[in-house]
């Protein structure tokens, strides 16, 4: 829990601070006086005023921050003071200051993705499992062990890259060509149609299409002392092959088979140093949380998934970071549009509870996963703030666009109505996000 809270606080604090720094940097260059730059909200814990009169503060609640610019000034104020107010600037300058926050988030995402690409990451190889019958992949002739080399002639380096490109294609449906390398080394091309799908958080649309990562034969990672497995003589690195002559294809299948055999003696076939052994194991009975008797043997399962190193040079890393950021931005925008039309479920909207959970999970996985998480949330913050909703940066940009066309500012009465609409929309969105969060927790 502590890791989750810390990872969430660092993520939101960092990303919102970068957002506000974007506003600050452009505002300073447009001659706007900054009265306060606060990291966090609430009671000020520490503050220092610089030589330009800007108060830099650290506040008690570290979930964001804000920039306070000089706004309305008295009519009798000196001309220099008037010219340093935000409202005194041209519509172009005000728009530039406003858009700088979301742009800062998007640039941060580019740098984060570029950093990961330059340092390099270990990712699962793009090896496909045997697709279930009647799926699009099975009908296209995809076989177990096929290694994906390219999608529509665009090289694929890992399963993560393949999955990302496929999800983008599946939003609206598409015919795709997969260049595959078969187990014997032969290269083939298989074409399949991915129909548009109603994306649900509980479902994996790629699995529904039959495109799944190949999982290796499960093995024994650790034997629990005093367990049934220890008494039977199972050893670390034993590869699990069969139970009672029924072949084992996955860790899930093994767990389900053991759970279904409490108090039974099974014949477990394993490979030990490439030699097959059949070992009798007395499955222990165990009561689960619902009081149902299930089987247990006392081993930690493992699987040696083939990994590849994905690394780019400095220039290519920046190119990849820019491409990934642009692709993620447009993919997210298309998702929002399809939510409005009903083609994508609104259950995909996540709130702070889910975001905090993802922050904690990515932090536990490692630094690379956490940086990817930060980049994704940074893009989401940038996109959300660009939506033309009053109260957000995008709403102000809409007002400035109207002012640029009509030649006069939007009236205070219209802004007041827009503010009420914006508050209502954001409140509804927040309630929906919290509802989805707690619904996931309860289910």
Give the mean model confidence (pLDDT) for residues 319-323. Answer: 93
Whether 349 shows a pLDDT value over 80: the answer reads: no
Rounded CA separation 156/128 (Å): 13
Q: Quick count: other Cβ atoms within 10 Å of Cβ 196? A: 15
Whether 318 shows a pLDDT value over 90: the answer reads: yes
Dihedral of alpha carbons 57, 61, 65, 71, sign: negative
Tell me the per-residue pLDDT of 166-222, one tens digit each, with 9 for 90 and over: 877 776 677 889 999 997 889 999 998 877 664 555 567 778 788 888 877 888 989
Return the pLDDT at 20.
93
Tell me the per-residue pLDDT of 17-59, one tens digit each, with 9 for 90 and over: 899 999 999 999 999 999 999 988 888 888 999 888 899 998 8
Whether 344 shows a pLDDT value over 70: the answer reads: no
Q: Per residue, what are the HEC states of the chain?
A: CHHHHHHHHHHHHHHHHHHHHHHHHHHHHCCCCEEEEEEEEEEEEEEEECCCCCEEEEEEEEEEEEEEECCCCCCCCCHHHHHCCHHHCCHHHHHHHHHHHHHHHHHHHHHHHHHHHHHCEEEECCEECCCCCCCHHHHCCCCCCCEEEEECCEECCCHHHHHHHHHHHHCCCEEEEEEEECCCCCEEEEEEEECCCCCCCCCCHHHHCCCCECCCCCEEEEECCCCHHHHHCCCCCCEEEEECCEECCCHHHHHHHHHCCCCCEEEEEEEECCEEEEEEEECEEEECCCCCEEEECCEEEECCCCEEEECCCHHHHHHHHHHHHHHHHHHHHHHHHHHHHCCCCHHHCCCHHHHHHHHHHHHHHCHHHHHHHHHHHHHHHHHHHHCCCCCCHHHHHHHHHHHHHHCCCCCHHHHHHHHHHHHHHHHHHHHHHHHHHHHHHHC
What percent of the chain stands above pLDDT 70?
A: 95
Whether 439 shows a pLDDT value over 60: the answer reads: yes
Return the pLDDT at 200.
58
Token pair, residue 303, equals 């699987």
133, 101 contact by CB (below 8 A): no
Q: Quick count: other Cβ atoms within 10 Å of Cβ 243? A: 20
Domains belonging to the chain, first-starting first, are 2-119+359-392 (no CATH), 123-214 (2.30.42.10), 219-302 (2.30.42.10)
pLDDT bracket for residue 266 (50, 70, 90): very high
Tell me the per-residue pLDDT of 222-264, one tens digit each, with 9 for 90 and over: 999 999 999 999 999 899 989 998 888 788 888 999 999 999 9
Q: Quick count: other Cβ atoms within 10 Å of Cβ 78? A: 10
Residues with catalytic annotation? Answer: 20
The alpha carbon of residue 402 and the mean position of all alpha carbons in its chain are separated, in whole angstroms, by 35
Return the pLDDT at 33.
93
Return the pLDDT at 199.
56
319, 407 contact by CB (below 8 A): no
Tell me the per-residue pLDDT of 400-412, one tens digit each, with 9 for 90 and over: 999 999 989 888 8
Rounded CA separation 182/149 (Å): 10
Please work out, in degrees rounded to the nearest 5, the angle formed at the alpha carbon of residue 423 by the alpha carbons of 417 and 424.
Answer: 90
Tell me the per-residue pLDDT of 411-430, one tens digit each, with 9 for 90 and over: 888 889 888 998 888 888 88
Look at residues 175, 14, 26, 182 and name the one whose alpha carbon lies nearest to residue 93. Answer: 26
99, 107 contact by CB (below 8 A): no
């Amino acid at each position: 829990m502590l890791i989750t809270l810390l990872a969430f606080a660092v993520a939101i604090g960092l990303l919102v601070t970068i957002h506000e720094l974007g506003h600050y940097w452009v505002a300073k260059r447009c001659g706007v006086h900054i009265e306060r730059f606060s990291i966090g909200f609430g009671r000020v814990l520490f503050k220092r005023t610089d030589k330009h009169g800007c108060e830099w503060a650290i506040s008690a609640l570290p979930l964001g921050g804000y920039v306070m610019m000089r706004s309305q000034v008295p009519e009798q104020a000196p001309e220099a003071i008037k010219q340093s107010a935000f409202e005194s600037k041209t519509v172009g300058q005000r728009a530039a200051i406003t858009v700088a926050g979301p742009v800062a988030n998007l640039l941060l995402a580019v740098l984060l993705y570029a950093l990961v690409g330059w340092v390099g990451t270990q990712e699962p190889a793009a090896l496909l499992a045997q697709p279930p019958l009647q799926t699009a992949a099975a009908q296209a002739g995809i076989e177990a062990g096929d290694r994906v080399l390219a999608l529509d002639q665009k090289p694929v380096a890992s399963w993560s890259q393949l999955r990302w490109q496929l999800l983008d294609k599946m939003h609206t449906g598409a015919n795709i060509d997969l260049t595959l390398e078969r187990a014997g080394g032969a290269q083939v091309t298989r074409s399949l149609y991915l129909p548009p799908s109603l994306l649900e958080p509980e479902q994996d649309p790629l699995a529904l299409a039959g495109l799944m990562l190949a999982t290796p034969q499960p093995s024994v990672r650790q034997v629990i002392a005093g367990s049934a497995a220890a008494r039977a003589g199972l050893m670390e690195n034993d590869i699990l092959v069969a139970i009672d002559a029924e072949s084992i294809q996955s860790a899930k299948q093994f767990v389900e088979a053991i759970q279904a055999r409490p108090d039974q003696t099974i014949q477990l076939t394993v490979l030990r140093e490439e030699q097959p052994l059949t070992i009798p194991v007395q499955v222990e009975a165990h009561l689960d949380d619902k009081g149902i008797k299930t089987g247990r043997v006392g081993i930690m399962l493992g699987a040696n998934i083939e990994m590849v190193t994905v690394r780019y040079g400095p220039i290519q890393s920046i190119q990849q970071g820019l491409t990934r950021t642009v692709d993620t931005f447009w993919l997210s925008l298309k998702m929002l549009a399809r939510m409005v039309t009903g083609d994508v479920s609104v259950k995909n909207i996540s709130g702070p509870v889910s975001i905090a959970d993802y922050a904690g999970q990515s932090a536990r996985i490692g630094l690379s996963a956490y940086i990817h998480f930060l980049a994704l949330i940074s893009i989401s913050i940038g996109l959300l703030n660009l939506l033309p909703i009053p109260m957000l940066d995008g709403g102000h940009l809409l007002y400035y666009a109207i002012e640029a066309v009509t030649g006069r500012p939007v009236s205070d009465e219209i802004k007041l109505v827009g503010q009420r609409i914006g508050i209502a929309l954001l409140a509804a969105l927040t309630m929906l996000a919290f509802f989805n969060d707690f619904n996931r927790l309860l289910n």
